[in-house]
Amino acid sequence: MSNASENLKDRVRAFWQANPCGTKFAEAETGTRAFFERVEEHRYRTEWHIPGAAGFDEARDLRVLEIGCGLGTDGARFARAGAIYTGVDLTEAAIGLARRRFELEGLPGEFRVADAEALDFADESFDLVYSHGVLHHTPDTRRAVREVHRVLRPGGRAVVMLYHRDSYNYRVNIGVLRRLGAHLLRTEAGLRLAHRLTGESLDNLREHAARVRRDARGYLSSDEFLSRNTDGAGNPLSRVYNRSEARELFSDFAEVEFAVHYLNKRRLPVVGGLLPRGLEARLASRWGWHLWIYARKGDNSGT
């Protein structure tokens, strides 16, 4: 691996180590039972499509590997449904919390710190590899997808969520609105106005503002802007994929299908809160932020 890629991986690890995914949505002491309950309640209230899209209830007796398990919220759903569950993540923080989450509920599961790009599992070890919102954050996504393919048994399935390029969030919110909003961050009054308009925390907006002041051109470059405007201003790397890019990424697999979910109502001021669920689901299936990829490894071959 090149030095640049290694350095980026270190920054990715440091960011997620300091900001375990989902913790900001729970106002309870991290690692307590109340904390995990709130994380879970928030997750399936705001991303209510996940249980159906992930297929937790169909995973009984399957050997499931989750890559980038975060706090183990989806992992617990797999384990409760009777899957033989293994969770890996790049950070000690996530693995410590996910393990604790399983212990509190007495759920069976294996955990280890591991890098998606170089998994420490034998070929063909799993029936299902699941990864939600992870592989677009690793420097070499292609290498990680090759690892998904390698550890799956012939006929095994991958269920992977990546950020969606042809989405409202990417095309309109990040591509236009947040870009215009970045200019507000040049003054304190503008920053406060952005806070009122978006509900985004002043701390996060100040971090964006500091980046605009330091290097506006670099910050506004499309790759950098995308990364800083998905999972927090400190996030060093995010990518987006459309269907054909994802199809190409998963070209080693015998079959690939897609579904699109999640309108991310936090990014739809006012209107978001008023949408009935049926309409929200219809809009999300076209303009949603989450591209779900369902890929099956060929039965006998390398595909």
Ligand X SMILES: C[S@@+](CC[C@H](N)C(=O)[O-])C[C@H]1O[C@@H](n2cnc3c(N)ncnc32)[C@H](O)[C@@H]1O
CA distances from 169 to 45, 202, 280, 286 (A): 19, 21, 14, 12
Give yes or no for residue 68 binding ligand X (CB under 6 A).
yes
Residues 2-31 that bind ligand X (CB under 6 A): 12, 16, 21-22
Cα–Cα distances in angstroms (integers) from residue 236 to residues 1, 11, 74, 251, 299, in the given order: 18, 7, 24, 27, 38
Main-chain dihedrals φ then ψ at residue 79, nearest 5 degrees: -65, -40
Q: Does 280 bind ligand X (CB under 6 A)?
A: no
Residue 204's Cβ-count burial label (10 Å; 0-12, 13-18, 19+) is middle
Q: Min. distance of Cβ 5 from ligand X in angstroms?
A: 11
* 75 binds ligand X, rule: CB under 6 A: no
Please select the residue that binds ligand X; options are 23, 86, 138, 229, rule is CB under 6 A: 138
> Per CB under 6 A, which region of 23-31, 95-103, 112-120, 250-258 contacts ligand X?
112-120
DSSP state of 169: I
| Binder of ligand X out of 116, 148, 194, 260 (CB under 6 A) | 116
Q: Is 119 in the site for ligand X (CB under 6 A)?
A: no
Buried b (16+ CB within 10 A) or exposed e, 278-297: eebbeebeebbbbbbbbbbb
The CB-of-144 to ligand X minimum distance in angstroms stands at 6
Q: Tell me which of 115, 127, 147, 280 binds ligand X, using CB under 6 A.
A: 115
Examine residue 49 and tell whether it contacts ligand X (CB under 6 A): no
Out of 49, 132, 165, 261, the only residue in the binding site for ligand X (CB under 6 A) is: 132
Q: Which tokens is 39 given? A: 């994380």
Q: Which is nearer to ligand X, 95 or 182 (CB)?
A: 95
Scanning residues 231 to 250, which ones bind ligand X (CB under 6 A)? 231
DSSP bridge partners of 292: 161, 259
76 binds ligand X (CB under 6 A): no
**Binding to ligand X by residue 230, rule CB under 6 A?**
no
Bridge partners for 130 per DSSP: 66, 159
Residue nearest ligand X by beta-carbon distance: 70
Q: Say if CB 208 and CB 200 are below 8 A apart.
A: no
Q: Footprint of ligand X on this chain (CB under 6 A)? A: 12, 16, 21-22, 67-68, 70, 89-91, 94, 115-117, 132-134, 137-138, 231
